[in-house]
Chain A
């Protein structure tokens, strides 16, 4: 029986890997996710067959409660709220690993097991509270700005020292539970401390990193309970999160430590004077220019999600195409609040995925674009990143909308973007500002067309 269970885990691991491979292309991704779900089912059934399990009521209760909550959340969540839901789920995964590590503590455990128990508690705890803070910031239940106070580094260092000391003492005296509780408590506090100094615009990095942690926590729990499948699946998730984190950091031209340890915009260097004037445009005039355009690029940002404008954007794109124009969407890697956020919103609005171009694909085409429409994006289209060496975002790769013949910027008001950086794009000769709620402005354009 034991062998059968272990071989089932081998099958599950193979299916997890194959499922992830299928996830590499939009055409096969849905099947890949299904394969991965089957792998999970096999692993769970195998675990239930274990001889050590003598009663099922706790398992059943836990599963029913979890499945109902998870199922309801998955059905009800709005696509715009996806980042906060993923953050919350990450947190639950982390907490589960913390509990498994804790529960795995048995008298007479060896040092290796004790170390892995403490690791799963530490990583799981940080993931849990860190994700809760990220959830609060993303759903704007708490302020999304960076929270910085003097002595923060000192406090954090003390917490780290406390965790290290507690962990060492736990390994030396595993029967004295005070050390265990100390590490649990400090890990939870540390999770809060590491996420509060990170501002809302850096959330794509944080959410990727927490994703990675939830995998690594499962991995550590796997060591604690001596289970292969936890290690394999956990490290796949850990690797995935790390890669996404790297991509996000690269897209912001910042190192991971810079994102984690300095609230963005706090060490402000310059504010160079931007020359030129703002040129507003009415929806009617914008319509006449669009009507004559043969090549249009749409660059969405977080503002499109906030205004829930994706459906009306799709309508406009269809009308432009019917009018004979080529329409593409340019997606910056950190547009939105999580990796790929814009792509999901536009997919929800039925925009085909082959119309969504990555930054490196759309930039070379920008000179042939008649009209670039920027919807609720700011820093990711800021030419200062290319031109102004003193700018805090200098060096960050951006979508070069200013190279298009005409740029429409849809914006509520002249307030600067999240990072609080002036955007010279708004003052360029070929830029026109279409002020107002993005959904209403585009709705207006759509009515002009029809």
Chain B
């Protein structure tokens, strides 16, 4: 049986290589939306925060989790919205 740690590290390694391949192809003109879009994705921490905010323990972890949900939600909602706002402005000549 493979331990969970090895399994997670394996996923990490593959994702990093995949990330490099994906991002290398993004043209310079899209670097700002790429960055704010990536920022929204880094709000994925919200998933970890949710499990801690809702465990019903009413302890410190609970409060920390709730604060983390709020902060990560700023990232997620703000990040996707502002990226969409920017990308809507990019137009090809004549369109």
A contact set with B: CB distance below 8 Å? 16-17, 20-21, 23-27, 29-30, 32-34, 36-37, 40, 43-44, 46-48, 50, 52-56, 58-59, 61-63, 65-67, 69-71, 73-75, 77, 79, 82, 85-86, 89-90, 92-93, 95-97, 99-100, 102-106, 112, 207-208, 211, 214-215, 217-219, 221-244, 247, 331, 333, 338-341, 343-344, 347-348, 350, 352-356, 358
Contacts and interface: CB of A to CB of B under 8 A. Distances in A.
A96 B49 contact: yes
Contacts of A33: 33, 37, 80, 83-84, 87
Given A63-B70, A350-B91, A74 B77 contact: yes
A90 B12 CA distance: 21
Contact of B78 (A74, A105, A229, A247): A74
Contact of B51 (A52, A55, A236): A52
Contacts of B33: 23, 29, 33, 340, 344
Nearest to B55: A52
A239 B53 CA distance: 29
B73 A232 contact: no
Interface in B77-95: 77-95
Contacts of B51: 47, 50, 52-53, 225, 227
Interface in B11-65: 11-12, 15-16, 18-20, 22-56, 60-65
A17 B18 contact: yes
B38 A241 contact: yes
Contact of B80 (A27, A36, A44, A353): A36
B26 to A, nearest CB: 5
A208 B85 contact: no
A82 B36 contact: yes
Nearest to A100: B48
A440 to B, nearest CB: 25
B28 A333 contact: yes
Nearest to A30: B87
A106 B19 CA distance: 32
A46 B50 CA distance: 10
Given A93-B42, A236-B19, A23 B30 contact: yes
Contacts of B20: 239, 242-243
Nearest to B22: A20
Contact of A99 (B24, B26, B68, B95): B68
Contacts of B50: 44, 47-48, 50, 53, 59
Contacts of B84: 30, 33-34, 37
Given A21-B22, A47-B50, A239-B23, A54 B56 contact: yes
A391 B90 CA distance: 37
B1 to A, nearest CB: 16
B61 to A, nearest CB: 4
Nearest to A222: B48
